[in-house]
Structure 1
């Protein structure tokens, strides 16, 4: 190998290292507030609904715009979009850190999500373009995926450690060194990547983007409103209207030659199960992590540092599983991996049924470790399985759908399962979801624990059902990573 080749390889790996910073931030910011919410609730005093929007406005924005920004990157340049998105992410992070009230914090979190949606598809395309050798490219993409998974896992831990000595806005300002470093190094180490003429991403259907986002937000808002204050006429109208918009969105996708979301791909049962596996475990993980953070601090009375330490074993297990799963799937096949994923997450969720108002730390730790294996499997196999189930010409669309399922699962888990917990809690006489504890008395903590238990049991049963579907519907032939 001559000196030119050595220099090119070195530049590529340094470029990957720089690229992993924004990837880690986008994933981490989907979960960094799980342990921070009690502190934010104390400082800003949001309502129940505002607290949930603070958590999931980010995920909704990423999920709703991920596919669209992937297309814009193909058309106008991935690196250009990446630089603009990273800069916007940094500015929105500063706004979130110094938000004087919950309304502005929600807006800044949504803007962070819009910026984050520009980063993921562009980052993967830029990383792929760095490596000419297929084996090195495969290794780089594996590192990319493991970093993304690790970001989700360590987000609560990082947030907890920061808040043990700093004010709540520090969980956003920690983004700035990575943003500044990337903006300084990316023009030197990375090169522009564009899609080919006539690529799938060249045409972005604006009505599809708007209708999908509006429909999802309307339905989720109706669910949250009903959980917090009861199903009044306004919530019903909003929910029905959102469902109608989503129905129109699906019909439009079936008519378009180049749809934003190719719903025809769901006719393949392997693809459908893979995407469901991208969605449901993330929904369970985000809801249980958020509710678990409130439980550890407000019910068991742990400090934020102790709560972060309690979340660490699950984060480590999740990350390690992401690394080792691809090698295991080559031997076992994706069918066994997907079934195992759902059964392990179900077991982890159902373990949480044993928690109480005191002495529940052991149940929590056992749950995060067992479920962490399932989450790690999901992160590792979903995208590869989804892409492998469709024709090569639709691989980009399949990958975008799989990634969108992850992001929407992360947001909707908090919105739906969190709202279920709030509704059960309200039935037991209290409407406070965050900040429960000594000042609210034993009745409030007991009501919260019951809501937490109901939410995780429902999540566990859904995983058992999806695991059974995977067992029946997926082919027995081994489909490992290629």
Structure 2
């Protein structure tokens, strides 16, 4: 809900605290980077020391960060507050998914429960813009963060009562160096991309980017030598798991980039108010929610392989519809895009989490859930930073050279009508470039899924492995042996 509201609130935030182009991108995606860099570590810690304390501590940090963001008077304070919210979010997501898995040991019930769990994210996306639009139309932009506080308070009051017995502690420790490697590598690499898009390439940025990639390579090599790795690379030997995680990554890359850029497009390029833009997002959000809840039924009918493959092509087709938008109209294509892509997003959100958790023993559910959530959160951050940076780079090349973003350009004093039109055209061109890349990536992964995923033996019982290949649930025989 926070991220979907933030997309709509960015024009108001830009007017109020005047962030630079780079700061505006950091405000949007610092949350995702902090979450992605710490998810695996906190998933492991939850497995070892119990999940309730991480849920309660994470909710508290999330609430404190939300209060700080609501009253931030400068871009730096807002970025820092969003980072604190990310720290809390990194503790909440893997433990929450692991608890859902523990509550439903039956595979079919677990699949449905995880579908509903995923649907809560879609519901937040659906409710967020409407609630945020109502708040932004009546109050200052900080109100969109204050709505988190009563939710956090209710959670802190009831979680100890209902979740206190859902924990599976295990011994061991988290490798601190691996945590630092993953966090530093991600931040350095993406910072280089973001700053290059906003300011142009330089030797310093290339050096920072190369250092980030080197640290990430070091991180991967270290995981292969550890007895208790932070990231269990062995899970990726299974093609079903690998395709599912890649699906989680790319689906959020596309979803985040389309959501962020479309919010700016509707408000700044087409001139719609924030509340109208929020309501225009509702049809797609409703389809996304229904698709999440209905994924288990779809899998029972057509199998997990077909559902995974279909998710990619629905996303690619929906994204492609955004390529028909323009500065003189495009609302119909926008709504159609969110509806078609929403089917693919809903399938992917549910399948990624269910596949990850079902592939491991119960005591590793938090770690597997963390990998699934990491792919989503990293995709969310990369979608905004990398594809958002691509759009910003195109805008900088083709725009009127007044400012680095469309919002700040349109608010510049003395801007001529010709420059305003040029800025809007440049933004739409950048949007098409970013969305075109996202559509191509999801379509390519769909083709890879067709090639990689073995066909299911549809006559096999749902809960029993059939040897090689996929069972009716879409898991390999080896995966079924260790399923919780």
Per the normalisation by structure 2, the TM-score is 0.88
Deviation (angstroms), 1:335: 1.7
Checking the alignment, whether the CA contact within 8 Å between 2:44 and 2:230 is kept in structure 1 is no
Deviation (angstroms), 1:405: 0.1
2:384 aligns to what?
Answer: 414
Checking the alignment, whether the CA contact within 8 Å between 1:352 and 1:367 is kept in structure 2 is yes
Residue 173 of structure 2 corresponds to residue 203 of structure 1:
yes
Checking the alignment, whether the CA contact within 8 Å between 1:265 and 1:271 is kept in structure 2 is yes
Matched residues in 1 for 2:219 and 2:125: separation?
30
Residue 72 of structure 2 corresponds to residue 99 of structure 1:
yes
Matched position secondary structure for 1:32: helix
Higher mean Cα deviation, 284-293 or 139-148?
139-148
Matched residues in 1 for 2:71 and 2:260: separation?
22
Out of 290, 294, 297, the position equivalent to 1:327 is 297
Checking the alignment, whether the CA contact within 8 Å between 1:48 and 1:432 is kept in structure 2 is yes
Are the structure 2 counterparts of residues 159 and 100 from structure 1 closer, same or farther at C-alpha, using a change threshold of 3 Å? same
Q: Cα deviation per residue 1:81-109 (whole Å; 9 max; x = unaligned)?
A: 22122111111100000000101100000
Residue 128 of structure 2 corresponds to residue 155 of structure 1:
yes
Question: 1:34-113 alignment to 2 at 5 Å?
Answer: 34-113=7-86
Matched residues in 2 for 1:34 and 1:178: separation?
21
Residue 344 of structure 2 corresponds to residue 374 of structure 1:
yes
2:333 aligns to what?
Answer: 363
1:288 aligns to what?
Answer: 258
Are the structure 2 counterparts of residues 347 and 437 from structure 1 closer, same or farther at C-alpha, using a change threshold of 3 Å? farther
2:446 aligns to what?
Answer: 467
Out of 412, 432, 438, the position equivalent to 2:404 is 432
Checking the alignment, whether the CA contact within 8 Å between 2:101 and 2:357 is kept in structure 1 is no
Out of 205, 211, 216, the position equivalent to 1:246 is 216
Checking the alignment, whether the CA contact within 8 Å between 1:75 and 1:194 is kept in structure 2 is no
Checking the alignment, whether the CA contact within 8 Å between 1:334 and 1:385 is kept in structure 2 is no
Q: Cα deviation per residue 1:218-249 (whole Å; 9 max; x = unaligned)?
A: 11000011111111011101000000000000
Are the structure 2 counterparts of residues 475 and 35 from structure 1 closer, same or farther at C-alpha, using a change threshold of 3 Å? same
1:344 aligns to what?
Answer: 314
Matched residues in 2 for 1:333 and 1:134: separation?
14
Q: Cα deviation per residue 1:153-206 (whole Å; 9 max; x = unaligned)?
A: 4433433332122211011000011111122233333314443443xxx32111
Are the structure 2 counterparts of residues 481 and 162 from structure 1 closer, same or farther at C-alpha, using a change threshold of 3 Å? farther
1:173 aligns to what?
Answer: 146
Checking the alignment, whether the CA contact within 8 Å between 1:48 and 1:434 is kept in structure 2 is no
Checking the alignment, whether the CA contact within 8 Å between 1:425 and 1:451 is kept in structure 2 is yes
Deviation (angstroms), 1:54: 0.4
Out of 162, 169, 185, the position equivalent to 2:158 is 185
Residue 4 of structure 2 corresponds to residue 31 of structure 1:
yes
Q: Cα deviation per residue 1:17-51 (whole Å; 9 max; x = unaligned)?
A: xxxxxxxxxxx223321111111111111111100
Checking the alignment, whether the CA contact within 8 Å between 1:36 and 1:163 is kept in structure 2 is yes
Matched position secondary structure for 2:6: coil
Deviation (angstroms), 1:463: 1.1
Checking the alignment, whether the CA contact within 8 Å between 1:54 and 1:109 is kept in structure 2 is yes
Matched residues in 1 for 2:99 and 2:355: separation?
22
Deviation (angstroms), 1:480: 4.8
Matched residues in 1 for 2:265 and 2:195: separation?
23
Question: 1:247-262 alignment to 2 at 5 Å?
Answer: 247-262=217-232
Out of 200, 212, 216, the position equivalent to 2:182 is 212
Matched residues in 1 for 2:363 and 2:239: separation?
18
Deviation (angstroms), 1:128: 4.8
Matched position secondary structure for 2:61: helix
Checking the alignment, whether the CA contact within 8 Å between 1:34 and 1:293 is kept in structure 2 is yes
Matched residues in 2 for 1:315 and 1:53: separation?
25
Unaligned runs of 5+ in 1: 1-27
Matched residues in 2 for 1:465 and 1:136: separation?
32
Are the structure 2 counterparts of residues 218 and 156 from structure 1 closer, same or farther at C-alpha, using a change threshold of 3 Å? farther
Matched residues in 2 for 1:362 and 1:164: separation?
24
Matched residues in 1 for 2:362 and 2:223: separation?
20
Once superposed, what is the RMSD of the aligned Cα atoms?
2.2
2:481 aligns to what?
Answer: none
